Amino acid sequence: MRSWKLIVALTLALATVAVACDGDGAAPLDETPVETPVETPAGTPAGTPAVVTPVEGSPITILRTPVVCVPVEPEPSTSTIDLAQALPTGKIAFVSFRDEYEGAPNREIYLISSDGSGPINLTRNSCADDEPDVSPDGTKIAWFSDRDGDAEIHVMNADGSDVTQLTTDGGAVSPRWSPDGEHIAYARGGTIMMMNADGSDPVIVLPGQPEPDVENLCETGGFPGGWSPDGSRIVYYAASITTGIAHVCTVTLDGQVETVVAEPPVYNVEPVWSPDGERIAFRSIRDENHDVYVVELADGSERRLTETAALDIEPDWSPDGEWIVFGSSRDAIATDIYIMRSDGSDVRRLTEHPAKDSYPTWSP
């Protein structure tokens, strides 16, 4: 489960309804929530948590404690892809739990070629580095980290250099680049935000709300999955913790909401727009199983792309729209990174490691 998300957002709806297991695919989300830390005011007794409200209109509190990051040594992995095969181009950034710190899995960002060569470790410290998103020109990666004591959006060069923190108010997750690379959408306390690529001028696109009425679920904020190719809309998902239902939605930059996937009334999350603007891929829990689906925006028809008993999650499109990268536990207990053609055929495994690899995003 996107542990930081669940804590900074709506407490969060997703803790009980998202991927909680890496194996049988029948449970909600796939990570363990971690307390989100922050500095306490001067004079506060030791051990007393501070409480902050991330955004007006998002009454979510966050607990913070001091955090010190230390270096972590990377671990290698292998791939099952035959380099002689015809393959898509580009690189894929993802999160791996392979690099342990003090005996516990630690989130780090890696970059791997779509032919399975690599991967290269980009972040190396004991703090969490999560949810990478590659800029449209492939030169930058935005992600969130708790390295300053709370979840904040950071950006770095695609080789891991020149790390810059963009947000400072806490609880910032799910960064997504706009198609022109000029803006970054993100979530804070369930509120959908947007800022310039340098972190300036943050604005609220859609305020987060308390536990919603399912009929108006998309009106209550959520977590960005990406942008429409023309940059006019942001696709996101909105979830209800009491019902276990999540909808795929879009919102214009001035806050006009549209529901894309609400039926069947199940958990529909992790949406991402296709490069041609005609489809949205997403994960759905149906028949007690996590699979990748695609919805055609022209008529609302849906197609299931994965049909295994394993966890198939977190899809993202290749730049040409011909392939989809995703996380899957089909060959192991933990998830690895896979690619498949956009119709669900020709599945290939990119990473092979005992630890969890997840949250892939495709780069040019």
Tell me: the pLDDT tens digits for 270-308? 999 999 999 999 999 998 899 999 999 999 999 999 999
The reported pLDDT for the residue numbered 22 is 37
Q: Are 357 and 98 in contact (CB under 8 A)?
A: yes
The reported pLDDT for the residue numbered 116 is 81
CATH code assigned at 349 = 2.120.10.30
The segment with the largest mean pLDDT, out of 27-36, 166-175, 211-220, is 166-175
The reported pLDDT for the residue numbered 84 is 47
Mean pLDDT, range 150-168, rounded to an integer: 96
What is the C-alpha R_g of the chain? Answer: 19
H or E element at residue 4:
helix 3-8
Position 329 pLDDT exceeds 70? yes
Number of folded domains that form the chain: 1
Per-residue model confidence as pLDDT tens digits over 8-29: 443 333 333 333 333 333 333 3
Position 41 pLDDT exceeds 50? no
Position 52 pLDDT exceeds 50? no
d(CA 219, CA 292): 24
Least confidently predicted of 55-59, 120-124, 329-333: 55-59
Residue 157, Cβ density class (10 Å: 0-12 exposed, 13-18 middle, ≥19 buried) = middle
Confidence category of residue 199, pLDDT binned at 50, 70, 90: very high
Q: Which domain holds residue 300?
A: 3-363
